[in-house]
């Protein structure tokens, strides 16, 4: 098994005991073997097949995007600045209805290319034609948490077929690509799935021993509808249906009461906070400081490019650190270190990969990125965590490794053909426009 | 005079009559000579000394940063996530008190390097040791609006000396560097300058025929203090003192009543909206949709790197487009085109350069940038204005021209020595830390 070593780098580990230092890190196969301050020992150097010079680079765990719909990258810039129902009914849904497996493949490949280039090594994706997303994940080298998102506003027959599709996909892909791919079960949202249908997903999740991912309380309107239809707010509704008896991650969670926050904390439900999408669609501002205070695991997601409009997780990290200060009037909430944890270690915890990724320490998967610090916006060298959160962007990412394999070298993709992807994605878009 | 031509490019002109097209643009000396769709005429090609291939590039006016303190780039990451008074009294002011002219020079040079690399061609700067900022502006090739910001909480003698310094600087530098540098008069803020001292700046501004720049209503606390001390809110206070009898631009303007917004509109006072800084310092969210609706010229500023922590104006543009949607609950406010105007044409208007910069059309100064679109986040080619606002960043800027001169080529600075600047800025910071 190949063993190699990085020296002369700065490391932001996300470990509390040793957060930032200048030093070295050894990788063996798919795992981080060891790391330490200063110079590696002569023995460590001798036992390495290769030594990588980390000068001018800052190494940190690969970022974790905990909510998205990769294929929708085909709709970047197609419709912006519209009222939600107009946007959905007249732009998104008609286009998405036309998506073939081929469109999903190239849209997801476009997303994978963008994610790797901007430093994401793990992404959660909820969509349709998920076999094609699985192919992209396998080929790209990314770590992926994949789930067939199912809308249940249809006949019982179609409901059954969709549930079966979700189950088959999860069985086929959970543990695929040397374990890089894991699966979840996803009823799309409380307002798009009748309660008895959600119950079937909970049952399947128990049988398959998988977590559940769903949208929850993105808009005030859907919360009000939930109260009208079921007499309770969405978190209590999902809890009653047993969704939180599984490990669960809910996307958005913008409109929550104190009671709902306490319930999520009590049940160990993680949240995927999508600040840019929530602003762009005017959904509102999630109560992130209160959730963190209550002990809820808050991770970060981009949502799809149609409401973002990029997949640069550095932006979500920065937005999480900025937005809640301004809205609460308290400049000490979501400090830089906490925002970076939301994009790394909390992300891993949220998608069931705690102890595998999101932290640089021995025994963890070698999922990490190198950011170039030879740029004006990294000067002076005061606090690299601050610089990563408040000054950096995905464009500063120079190299990326996932599962011990290099996916990006000097800004160039190694596992995907970027030029082909851009060409095919453009062609898909033009076909969809007709 | 050298005449050269760009062909095969996409152009985002910020002109209403012809906003986006594929075509060509001719530059003669410091000015845009002509531009048009499709191919240039044989005559236009023949009369050009040089032809530049614009394939894969999107050309737009250079961005305009209408509020900042460039030298404070030396304090990037020095202190974050603190309560305002703690941050100011225990971190910013003690360090700034130690700034020498040399520190201001290298701090401003660091800022100039970062601004050029991220697509800004005009910046407004308010600080001390302004001769050194003037030197940086002259050398860098940037267009600059410079002003000695004066705090008047001192003896009458010191007040006099500072006012004299501000007047001398304005006289020496207004129109310098082939007209690239213009000056303003700047009492720092209503809460840091007694009324009779502000009056002296108004008088000087009239004598020198210069605009006035000041901070206004950044925090709720300073508004309350203004009411306690002077019986009126800051906009009425400044109006009474004659500040708005001059062309004026106020920075921040976060806490405004309807009456104040109407007053700014009536007096033609421009606002520099600094959304990232306002969030980071927890100052609040300015009422930008209402100001735009009332006809106030709203431009964009980064404020200093100490509260941002970078000078990428693309981020301010995106933040302006996102934030106000989320906070007002209306996804149609500050649409992409309006946000881009805030960073270009409204910026020019705000700093007294309307008709000179901020738009690509014949007779305007050749201040423009080229963004590389051969990247995943520019695919598909749906709407380049949307992509610039919602997907791009300063890192996509490949070439920059100001006053007809190229300042950045393939991401490399042509007028400044980036490596030296990074080295010297680091050294300044270390000396300041002692």
In a domain, A50, yes or no: yes
- Check whether A308 has a pLDDT greater than 90: yes
- Interchain proximity A380–B425, CB inside 8 Å: yes
- Check whether B251 has a pLDDT greater than 90: yes
Residue B22 shares a structural domain with residue B152: no
| Cα gap A110→A106, rounded to integer Å | 6
Nearest one of B279, B77, B292, B330 to A322, comparing CA atoms: B279
Rg (CA), chain B: 21
Tell me the two tokens of residue B24.
Answer: 């060509």
Contact by Cβ (8 Å): B398, B371: yes
- Interchain proximity B77–A328, CB inside 8 Å: no
- Interchain proximity B81–A331, CB inside 8 Å: yes
Mean pLDDT of B60-66: 99
Question: Is position B255 annotated in a ligand binding site?
Answer: no
CATH number, residue A403: 2.30.40.10
Closest-approach residue (CA) in chain A for B380:
A426
- Check whether A17 has a pLDDT greater than 90: no
In this structure, the strands spanning B368-372 and B57-61 are antiparallel
Residue B142 shares a structural domain with residue B122: yes
**Predicted local distance difference test score (pLDDT) of residue A310:** 98
- Interchain proximity B383–A332, CB inside 8 Å: no
Residue A383 shares a structural domain with residue A294: no
Contact by Cβ (8 Å): A12, A58: yes
**Predicted local distance difference test score (pLDDT) of residue B434:** 87
Give the model confidence (pLDDT) of B193-231 as tens digits. Answer: 999 999 999 999 999 999 999 999 999 999 999 999 999
**Predicted local distance difference test score (pLDDT) of residue A16:** 86
Question: Is position B15 annotated in a ligand binding site?
Answer: no
| Cα gap B110→A365, rounded to integer Å | 38
- Interchain proximity A326–B113, CB inside 8 Å: no
In this structure, the strands spanning B63-65 and B57-61 are unpaired
Taking the CA atoms of residue B166, residue B170, residue B171 and residue B174 in that order, the dihedral angle to the nearest 10 degrees is 170
Across A374-402, b (16+ Cβ under 10 Å) vs e yields ebbbbbbebbbbbbbbbbbbbbbbbbbbb
| Cα gap A257→B144, rounded to integer Å | 49
Residue B274 shares a structural domain with residue B243: yes
Mean pLDDT of B80-103: 95
Q: Which residues contact B362 (CB under 8 A, 6 or more apart)?
A: B31, B32, B33, B34, B35
Query: Of the residues B296, B325, B350, which one is the last residue of a structural domain?
Result: B350
Instruction: Name the minimum distance, in Å, from the CA of A115 to any CA of chain B.
Output: 9
CB contacts of A429 in chain B (<8 Å) are 380, 382
**Predicted local distance difference test score (pLDDT) of residue A84:** 87
What 8-state DSSP symbol labels residue B81?
S
- Check whether A125 has a pLDDT greater than 90: yes
Q: Who among B83, B386, B396 is closest to A332 (CB)?
A: B83
Contact by Cβ (8 Å): A214, A185: no
Query: Partners of A408 in the beta sheet?
Result: A400, A413
In a domain, A427, yes or no: no
**Predicted local distance difference test score (pLDDT) of residue B16:** 86
In a domain, B430, yes or no: no
Question: Is position A218 annotated in a ligand binding site?
Answer: yes
Question: Is position B96 annotated in a ligand binding site?
Answer: yes
Query: Of the residues B297, B330, B350, which one is the last residue of a structural domain?
Result: B350
Contact by Cβ (8 Å): A311, A305: yes
Q: Who among B336, B379, B430 is closest to A81 (CB)?
A: B336
Residue B232 shares a structural domain with residue B261: yes
- Interchain proximity A80–B426, CB inside 8 Å: no
In a domain, A158, yes or no: yes
- Interchain proximity A308–B390, CB inside 8 Å: yes
Residue B18 shares a structural domain with residue B79: no
- Interchain proximity A383–B308, CB inside 8 Å: no
CB contacts of B74 in chain A (<8 Å) are 380
- Check whether B85 has a pLDDT greater than 90: no
- Interchain proximity A312–B393, CB inside 8 Å: yes
Mean pLDDT of B326-345: 98
- Interchain proximity B322–A280, CB inside 8 Å: yes
**Predicted local distance difference test score (pLDDT) of residue B368:** 99
CB contacts of A422 in chain B (<8 Å) are 374, 376, 379
Give the model confidence (pLDDT) of B392-426 as tens digits. Answer: 999 999 999 999 999 999 999 999 999 999 999 99
Give the model confidence (pLDDT) of A103-117 as tens digits. Answer: 999 999 999 999 999
**Predicted local distance difference test score (pLDDT) of residue A274:** 98
Instruction: Name the minimum distance, in Å, from the CA of A87 to any CA of chain B.
Output: 10
Instruction: Name the minimum distance, in Å, from the CA of A187 to any CA of chain B.
Output: 26
Mean pLDDT of B367-372: 98
Tell me the two tokens of residue A370.
Answer: 């190198």
Give the model confidence (pLDDT) of A53-98 as tens digits. Answer: 999 999 999 999 999 999 999 999 999 999 988 999 999 999 999 9
Residue of A380, A408, A429 to mutate when probing chain B, most B C-beta within 10 A: A380
Question: Is position A213 annotated in a ligand binding site?
Answer: no
Q: Is the complex ipTM more than 0.90? A: yes
- Check whether B158 has a pLDDT greater than 90: yes
In this structure, the strands spanning A368-372 and A397-402 are antiparallel
- Interchain proximity B377–A310, CB inside 8 Å: yes
Closest-approach residue (CA) in chain B for A276:
B322
- Check whether B281 has a pLDDT greater than 90: yes
Q: Who among A81, A83, A425 is closest to B380 (CB)?
A: A425
**Predicted local distance difference test score (pLDDT) of residue B168:** 98
**Predicted local distance difference test score (pLDDT) of residue B17:** 84
CB contacts of B382 in chain A (<8 Å) are 75-78, 429
Query: Of the residues A305, A328, A350, which one is the last residue of a structural domain?
Result: A350
**Predicted local distance difference test score (pLDDT) of residue A100:** 98
pLDDT band at A52 (very low <50, low <70, confident <90, very high): very high
| Cα gap B399→A16, rounded to integer Å | 42
Mean pLDDT of A428-433: 97
Query: Partners of B182 in the beta sheet?
Result: B145
CB contacts of B281 in chain A (<8 Å) are 325, 331
CB contacts of B393 in chain A (<8 Å) are 312, 393-395
- Interchain proximity A278–B326, CB inside 8 Å: yes
**Predicted local distance difference test score (pLDDT) of residue A434:** 87
CB contacts of A328 in chain B (<8 Å) are 282
pLDDT band at B258 (very low <50, low <70, confident <90, very high): very high
Give the residue numbers spanning the domain of B17: 3-61+356-412
Contact by Cβ (8 Å): A70, A24: no
Instruction: Name the minimum distance, in Å, from the CA of B349 to any CA of chain A.
Output: 25
Closest-approach residue (CA) in chain A for B76:
A380
Residue A196 shares a structural domain with residue A326: yes
Question: Is position B324 annotated in a ligand binding site?
Answer: no
| Cα gap B210→B207, rounded to integer Å | 8
Instruction: Give the side-chain half-sphere CA count within 13 A for B282.
Output: 19
pLDDT band at B326 (very low <50, low <70, confident <90, very high): very high
Tell me the two tokens of residue A155.
Answer: 């006949």
* Count of positions (residues) in chain A: 434
Residue A53 shares a structural domain with residue A159: no
Q: Who among B84, B329, B395 is closest to A284 (CB)?
A: B329
What 8-state DSSP symbol labels residue A333?
S
- Interchain proximity B282–A395, CB inside 8 Å: no
Contact by Cβ (8 Å): A401, B359: no
Q: Who among A75, A325, A383 is closest to B282 (CB)?
A: A325
**Mean pLDDT of chain B, nearest integer:** 97
Residue B23 shares a structural domain with residue B89: no
Closest-approach residue (CA) in chain B for A380:
B426
In a domain, B131, yes or no: yes
Q: Angle at which helices B101-117 and B130-140 pack, to 10 degrees?
A: 30
Question: Is position A96 annotated in a ligand binding site?
Answer: yes
- Interchain proximity A379–B323, CB inside 8 Å: no
Count A/B contacts: CB-CB distance under 8 Å. 210
**Predicted local distance difference test score (pLDDT) of residue A196:** 98
Give the model confidence (pLDDT) of B99-127 as tens digits. Answer: 999 999 999 999 999 999 999 999 999 99
In a domain, A423, yes or no: no
In a domain, B434, yes or no: no
- Least confident span in A211-215, A407-411, B45-49: B45-49
Taking the CA atoms of residue B381, residue B386, residue B390 and residue B395 in that order, the dihedral angle to the nearest 10 degrees is 60
CATH number, residue A190: 3.20.20.140
pLDDT band at A181 (very low <50, low <70, confident <90, very high): very high
Residue A178 shares a structural domain with residue A33: no
Question: Is position B3 annotated in a ligand binding site?
Answer: no
pLDDT band at A133 (very low <50, low <70, confident <90, very high): very high
Residue B170 shares a structural domain with residue B264: yes
Q: Who among A117, A279, A390 is closest to B326 (CB)?
A: A279
- Count of structural domains within chain A: 2
Mean pLDDT of B142-151: 98
**Predicted local distance difference test score (pLDDT) of residue B351:** 98
Q: Which residues contact B180 (CB under 8 A, 6 or more apart)?
A: B137, B138, B141, B142, B143, B144, B402, B403
In a domain, A16, yes or no: yes
Backbone phi, psi, residue B126, to 5°: -120, 115
Residue B255 shares a structural domain with residue B366: no
Q: Who among A311, A322, A377 is closest to B279 (CB)?
A: A322
Closest-approach residue (CA) in chain B for A395:
B395
């Amino acid at each position: 098994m190949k063993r190699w070593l990085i020296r002369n780098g700065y490391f932001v580990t996300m470990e509390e005991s040793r957060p930032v230092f200048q030093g070295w890190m050894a990788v063996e196969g798919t795992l981080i073997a060891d790391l330490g301050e200063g110079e590696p020992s002569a023995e460590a150097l001798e036992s390495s097949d290769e030594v990588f010079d980390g000068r001018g680079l800052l190494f940190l765990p690969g970022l974790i995007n905990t909510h998205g719909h990769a294929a929708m990258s085909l709709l970047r810039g197609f419709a912006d600045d519209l009222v939600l129902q107009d946007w959905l009914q007249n732009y998104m849904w008609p286009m998405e209805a036309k998506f073939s497996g081929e469109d999903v493949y190239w849209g997801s490949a476009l997303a994978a290319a963008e994610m790797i280039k901007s430093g994401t090594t793990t992404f959660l994706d909820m969509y349709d034609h998920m076999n094609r997303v699985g192919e992209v994940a396998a080929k790209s080298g990314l770590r992926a948490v994949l789930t067939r998102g199912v809308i249940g506003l249809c006949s019982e027959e179609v409901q059954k077929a969709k549930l079966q599709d979700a189950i088959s996909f999860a069985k086929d892909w959970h543990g695929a690509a040397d374990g890089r791919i894991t699966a979840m079960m996803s009823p799309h949202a409380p307002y798009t799935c009748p309660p008895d249908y959600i119950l079937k997903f909970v049952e399947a999740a128990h049988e398959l021993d998988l977590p559940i991912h769903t949208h929850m309380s993105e808009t005030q309107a859907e919360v009000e509808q939930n109260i009208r239809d079921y007499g309770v707010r969405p978190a209590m509704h999902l809890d009653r249906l047993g969704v939180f008896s599984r490990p669960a991650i809910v996307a958005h969670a913008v409109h929550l009461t104190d009671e709902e926050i306490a319930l999520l904390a009590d049940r160990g439900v993680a949240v995927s906070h999508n600040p840019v999408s929530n602003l762009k669609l005017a959904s509102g501002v999630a109560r992130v400081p209160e959730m963190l205070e209550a002990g809820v695991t808050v991770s970060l997601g981009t949502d799809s490019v149609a409401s973002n409009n990029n997949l640069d997780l550095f932006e979500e990290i920065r937005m999480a650190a900025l937005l809640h200060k301004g809205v609460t009037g308290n400049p000490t909430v979501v400090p830089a270190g906490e925002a970076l944890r939301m994009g790394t270690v909390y992300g891993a915890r949220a998608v069931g990969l705690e102890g595998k990724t999101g932290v640089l320490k021995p025994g963890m998967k070698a999922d990490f990125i190198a950011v170039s610090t030879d740029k004006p916006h990294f000067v002076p060298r005061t606090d690299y965590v601050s610089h990563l959160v408040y000054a950096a962007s995905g464009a500063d990412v120079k190299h990326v490794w996932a599962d011990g394999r290099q996916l990006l070298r000097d800004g160039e993709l190694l596992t995907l053909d970027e030029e082909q992807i851009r060409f095919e994605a453009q062609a898909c878009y033009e076909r969809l426009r007709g």
